[in-house]
Structure 1
Amino acid sequence: MTPFEQIRRDQDRSPATGLRYLARWLRHRLPTGLYARSLLIIILPMLILQTVVAFVFMERHWQLVTERLSSAVTRDISAVIALIEAYPSPQDYGQMVQIAKERLNLTIAMEPGSELPPARPRPFFSILDQILSDQIERQIRRPFWIDTVGDSGLVEIRIVLDQGILQIFARRNEAYASNTHIFLVWMVGTSLVLIIISILFLRGQIRPILALANAAESFGKGQRPPDDFSPRGADEVRRAGLAFILMRERIERQMEQRTAMLSGVSHDLRTILTRFKLQLALAGDDPELDNLNQDVDDMQTMLEGYLDFAKGEAEEDVGQIRLGELFEKLATDFALHKKTLTYTIEGDEAIAVRPNAFTRLVTNLASNARRYATKLNIEARHTAKWLVVIFDDDGPGIPQSARDDVFKPFFRLDEARNLDASGTGLGLAIARDIARSHGGNVTLEDSPLGGLRAVIRIPV
């Protein structure tokens, strides 16, 4: 092993590397939502605190109290045994039974024989069984048998003596801290109440954040935000909501101003083009004027393309459109040009988009394929979260190095394919702009048919 490899191995084993691995593991396992994380911030410290308190209580207080009670009961039993051994006369035994019952709360009986019952299995968690057994072994030091299992309020103890087997029944609550569970019940019950209050409080705090996120997402998709949206919640959330409303108003105002300006420019330029057309029409049918007429038509087409790209379709409301009807119109157009278009649809055909904008998005991509390919296959998948439309053609395709540039306005491919019939290079730029206004995107890949694959991915 080289020194460099040794250093790398030592670094991988360092505590800092282990902490990074642990942090990465936790990052992938912990919830990502603010509501769930807030609950963890509240619940985890509470659980850790209660676990530590319960452990200390169980280890110290509960065990200590039980140990003292069991020690006291064992001393009483030891005293009874000492009296029996000191006064073995049968007439004295009856008086000892009465003293043990009245003074020590012990019920005793002497049985003949020297064999104890078989040992019973100890329960998994029985602090009384363990502590009482240890006390009897340490103080009495005789063979014994105990029974602490069951719901009875008594504990049975049998001890081997010279006179026989001494059977003792002691009260469980005198040898065991039986009311300790009340502390745990109160602790757990109080924690549940606090957790419920925290959940209700967090729901009230998270709801305004979710409303703000939904409003921002709707605005990012070009949809109208909810009419009832207003800043609510904590001061910071209110400030964020108010800032979003002001930002949205500024953007909408700028869009309205830009649209109004472009509409005025469009009206003026179209007026001039109309004059050109009228003058050319009055000039007669001179063949030399055909090129001028074509130039005027090209100028009008380019002007409409520029204005459409600049204005976009943000002002259009969201509506319903059926994918089957849209694809069928495209298939008819392909058939008129003696080309083939096939399509498949998975999921619901009806989608909620801006109809005119989405139609133009699909039409732009299909027109590019119709212009440069002979076959186009469209596959649409409508799931609960996404709408994915895949266009596969058998055309010449686009080089890998140019697939990002073709989405730039006015960019054209001189070698492979002209992406816009007007020569402006706005077809794919408009398509991506429409997809992103819906919150999605358009990407280009290699097609299994040998040409280009265009993928529309829009959240629904």
Structure 2
Amino acid sequence: MALVDLIRTRAPRRLPRIDPWRGPLRHIPRWFARYMPKGLYPRSLIIIIAPMVLLQSVVAGVFMERHWQMVTQRLSNAVVQDIAAVIDVIDTYPQDADYAQIVRIARDKLDLNIAILPPEPLPAPAAKPFFNILDGILSEEITKQINRPFWIDTVGNSRIVEIRIQLQRGILRVFARRNSAYASNTHIFLVWMVGTALVLLLIAILFLRNQIRPIQTLAEAAEGFGRGQPMPQDFRPRGASEVRRASLAFIQMRDRIERQMEQRTAMLTGVSHDLRTVLTRFRLQLALIGDVEDREELNQDVDEMQRMLEGYLAFARGESGEDVGELDLEPVFAKFRGEARLKDKRLDTDIVGDPRLMVRPDSFIRLLTNLVSNALRHAERVRLTARHEGRWLTVSVEDDGPGIAPEQREEVFKPFVRLDPARNIDAGGTGLGLAIARDIARSHGGDILLSTSDLGGLRAMVRIPA
């Protein structure tokens, strides 16, 4: 036991795991993701452009730091050596009062324009520019090779560098060409680098655009299919092999879904025909019954069966075969106001934005009719609001009725679900009104949400792209 205790006491402690994304750095990924583009095409461009820009920045930095500085230093060294030679000649032959020969040799052989000025104080040092490699290197070479008081001006004239050096009997003023002491052709390298990068980027963007376009077409076709729109006429598998496989799989999936919908519609049509035949026979037999009260009661049962059958078929069949068209909400809302007046109810309407939208008109009117009729049935005041902003349409139906409990708001969208008498559907109903409404909203690429209204009752909000 003592040995075990000793091992436990000497066992190394496990260091806590350090998460680099905790503390001040934890917001960096979130900030980066917020400002990153969301589309595939711009993100692909960033993947191509970012490494190229980074590589060129590194290459340019290395070039500026080493090659440019080295060339400039060698050129400045050569110019300062020539000036030092001129100073040595002046000090060696002080008897030449006008220094005409020295000035001529410097001009013809060394490409330096020199002059001997009378003794005077050197000008005050000028402010050095923030980024001027010539100023630092030239000053360093003069100090190292000549080691006399000097003054230089590298920013006065763009093509000339002025240097003044104090001599024993005067001031030596030298005008040297800037390109003799400075690597002035560096911009050629940068122009070639940037030019070739732009050409490569242009080629990459063109090829990338051709590769991204089939993916965008596939996304638009899938989105249109979700809204019940027909497939574009020019849609076909294109692009890379993976995109072609995805497009082909989408076409096959769409064909299977449409075939199943056609089979279901055909089956329901046959069932509807058979059941209507039976109901017609019931009506004929009821007409032969002598008791009027029994006959009326049975006729009501047959009518209820007829309404239930129509509701089942409408829910199962949907409005998938309807084409997309333009719908104006103003006459639709005017019709709802007329229905509210007939029922002695108050209906307030408001439309913000363009009242016209592209939907399947009959199915969307049916969606609104189900919601408004349900609100008028259980409330005295209803508020109908439509907001068409951007590419989204939001329709809110609010009432002052008893409302629906929050835990039951999702249940009412299930087929054949009925609530308590406070929200029960009228005689002949099937519990399919909200189910049909949500099915229509989702077929348009949107949805319906229920919440509490400011009026005290229920709010049904429809949001679809339009």
In 1: Cα distance, 2:324 partner to 2:45 partner:
37
In 1: Cα distance, 2:364 partner to 2:270 partner:
26
Match of 1:317 in 2: 323
In 2: Cα distance, 1:98 partner to 1:377 partner:
100
In 2: Cα distance, 1:133 partner to 1:421 partner:
102
Residue of structure 1 aligned with 2:209, choices 203, 226, 237:
203
The alpha carbon displacement at 1:156 in A equals 1.4
Q: Secondary structure at the match of 1:416?
A: helix
Match of 2:4 in 1: none
Asked if 1:260 corresponds to 2:263, the answer is no
Q: Secondary structure at the match of 2:277?
A: helix
Residue of structure 2 aligned with 1:248, choices 254, 261, 275:
254
Asked if 1:374 corresponds to 2:380, the answer is yes
Match of 2:154 in 1: 148
Asked if 1:344 corresponds to 2:334, the answer is no
Residue of structure 1 aligned with 2:88, choices 78, 82, 87:
82
**Native 8 Å contact 1:420 1:426 kept in 2:** no
Match of 2:130 in 1: 124
The one-letter code matched in structure 1 to 2:45 is L
In 2: Cα distance, 1:297 partner to 1:246 partner:
42
In 1: Cα distance, 2:283 partner to 2:29 partner:
71
Asked if 1:107 corresponds to 2:113, the answer is yes
Q: Secondary structure at the match of 2:416?
A: coil
Q: Secondary structure at the match of 2:422?
A: coil
Residue of structure 2 aligned with 1:38, choices 31, 38, 44:
44
Match of 2:297 in 1: 291
Asked if 1:398 corresponds to 2:404, the answer is yes
**Change over 3 Å in CA distance of 1:158–1:126 after alignment to 2:** same
The one-letter code matched in structure 2 to 1:301 is R
Q: Secondary structure at the match of 1:178?
A: coil
The alpha carbon displacement at 1:419 in A equals 3.9
The one-letter code matched in structure 2 to 1:336 is L
User: In the TM superposition, what whole-angstrom CA distance separates every residue of 1:41-77 from its partner, at most 9, and x where no partner exists?
Assistant: 0111011000000000000000011011111111111
- Which stretch of structure 1 is more off in the superposition, 56-65 or 379-388? 379-388
Residue of structure 1 aligned with 2:30, choices 17, 20, 24:
24
Specify every segment of 5 or more residues in structure 1 that has no aligned partner in the other structure, as ranges.
Answer: 1-9
User: In the TM superposition, what whole-angstrom CA distance separates every residue of 1:259-313 from its partner, at most 9, and x where no partner exists?
Assistant: 0010000000011001101111122452122221111111111111111111111
The one-letter code matched in structure 2 to 1:371 is R
The alpha carbon displacement at 1:396 in A equals 0.5
Asked if 1:413 corresponds to 2:422, the answer is no
The alpha carbon displacement at 1:102 in A equals 2.9
In 1: Cα distance, 2:334 partner to 2:173 partner:
96
Match of 1:425 in 2: 431
The one-letter code matched in structure 2 to 1:417 is R
State the TM-score, normalized to the length of structure 1.
Answer: 0.94
The alpha carbon displacement at 1:26 in A equals 1.1
**Native 8 Å contact 1:420 1:427 kept in 2:** no
Residue of structure 1 aligned with 2:99, choices 84, 93, 101:
93
Q: Secondary structure at the match of 2:386?
A: strand
The alpha carbon displacement at 1:415 in A equals 4.6
The alpha carbon displacement at 1:83 in A equals 1.8
In 2: Cα distance, 1:15 partner to 1:388 partner:
43
- Which stretch of structure 1 is more off in the superposition, 370-379 or 116-125? 116-125
Specify every segment of 5 or more residues in structure 2 that has no aligned partner in the other structure, as ranges.
Answer: 1-15
Task: Quote the sequence identity (%).
Answer: 63
**Change over 3 Å in CA distance of 1:420–1:73 after alignment to 2:** farther
Asked if 1:214 corresponds to 2:220, the answer is yes
The one-letter code matched in structure 2 to 1:373 is A
The one-letter code matched in structure 1 to 2:447 is N
**Native 8 Å contact 1:205 1:233 kept in 2:** yes
**Native 8 Å contact 1:441 1:457 kept in 2:** yes
